A and B are shown apart, each in its own frame.
Chain A
């Protein structure tokens, strides 16, 4: 009974997360070996008469990012705000906005109520790598300021939890095949030897 349940869950959970596993696996090659060569400087688009919220001189963190995000629909930009930089000297607000497939750099003149936007497209591999790394460990206080990032975080977490379940259920399913125990042990042991050997070589 337990065997049948685990076998079915192993199959269906595996099928569901398999596109995510492929995404994470394929992007590894780009992250390890790819080099991003950006093309010439992208054209600058200018937007005028914007409805610009105030308070950027005193607001920080998520509150400031949420206000900046309010400007984005007027610029036809959507995505995760990477960070905010308020330049007090000339009251400009600069921030990058990204999602898989595209990245924009926004520069808002708060007094003139104008903004310039530079847009850049991502290749498929760069998009996969972007998703691999998001939300990530940086700027934790503001990360997930776009709904897409918040939902992606749930899927990324689900992929990990289900992968852990699949690996554990996989051990159970392998153990049930008596004829495969010996070679399975040999592979498990050689994998452990490689793993701990490499860890030792890195930290010694």
Chain B
């Protein structure tokens, strides 16, 4: 066997369990939250959340864009998370929602009165845990949505890395299996069974 092939075999095997070990906790989180998302009936009061309201005075928000003014209001109110604005702002107002897995807030700011009306929600632990599965700050079917919190971008990077890691592990495992002298026939049958089952859905037959 050529030396590069030996090196590839050596590192491919190691990458398989190195990646698996590094991503273990991410894999468990997305597996368990995937089960939660598909079995909402297992839970009672999953979406129960604690609500508080307050209406503090604020300083006129600094900045000349909607984003910079919103960020300044969030700084004054000590809020963090992904921002969502309504399609249109009322005159003299900055209204927005801000959310992250463990909670959210609806903020209505009267710029003339320099007054904010805040409704804040705290999610339960299980609900927060579940939200991590979908916390990307962007929705593919809402082209206008985008990420505006650096922490969300870091989380999305972790999601992408896990997905890329899984693809590398799967492709690498095909090679390792194929190099085995035994277990080819049964392996081909099992892989074909999985691929056919998956294809039936992807092709829209079922």
Contact = CB atoms under 8 A, between A and B. Distances in A.
A53 interface: no
B37 interface: yes
B160 A163 contact: no
Given A29-B160, A160-B31, A191 B22 contact: yes
A83 B74 CA distance: 36
A127 B206 CA distance: 12
Contact of A12 (B22, B162, B187): B187
A167 B151 contact: no
Contacts of A31: 136, 140
A23 B21 contact: no
A202 B28 CA distance: 18
Nearest to B180: A11
Given A16-B193, A29-B163, A153 B38 contact: yes
A82 to B, nearest CB: 13
A26 B163 contact: yes
Contacts of B151: 198, 201-202
A203 B190 contact: no
Nearest to A131: B201
B21 A188 contact: yes
B3 interface: no
Contacts of B191: 15-16, 18-19
A19 B194 contact: yes
A135 B199 CA distance: 18
Contact of A20 (B26, B100, B154, B194): B194
B35 A163 contact: no
Given A153-B38, A167-B20, A180 B27 contact: no
B170 interface: yes
Interface string B10-51: 000010011011111111110100111110110000000000
B159 A160 contact: no
B162 to A, nearest CB: 8
A194 B155 CA distance: 10
Interface in A132-175: 135-137, 140, 147-148, 151-153, 155-157, 160, 163-164, 167, 170-171, 173-174
23 contacts: A15-B173, A16-B194, A18-B191, A19-B194, A23-B202, A25-B164, A25-B167, A29-B160, A32-B159, A135-B38, A136-B38, A151-B206, A155-B198, A157-B35, A167-B31, A191-B22, A191-B24, A196-B25, A198-B154, A198-B158, A202-B101, A202-B132, A203-B100
Lowest 3 CB-CB distances: which A-B pairs, in order?
A: A101-B204, A148-B206, A28-B163
Interface of A: 8, 11-12, 14-26, 28-37, 99-102, 124, 126-129, 131, 135-137, 140, 147-148, 151-153, 155-157, 160, 163-164, 167, 170-171, 173-174, 180, 183-184, 187-188, 190-192, 194-196, 198-199, 201-203
Interface of B: 14, 17-18, 20-29, 31, 34-38, 40-41, 100-102, 128, 130, 132, 135-136, 138, 140-141, 143, 151-152, 154-156, 158-160, 162-164, 166-167, 170, 173-174, 177, 183, 186-187, 190-191, 193-195, 197-199, 201-204, 206
Given A11-B177, A147-B206, A187-B18, 12 more contacts: A29-B163, A31-B140, A129-B140, A152-B201, A152-B206, A155-B198, A167-B31, A188-B24, A191-B21, A194-B22, A194-B158, A195-B29
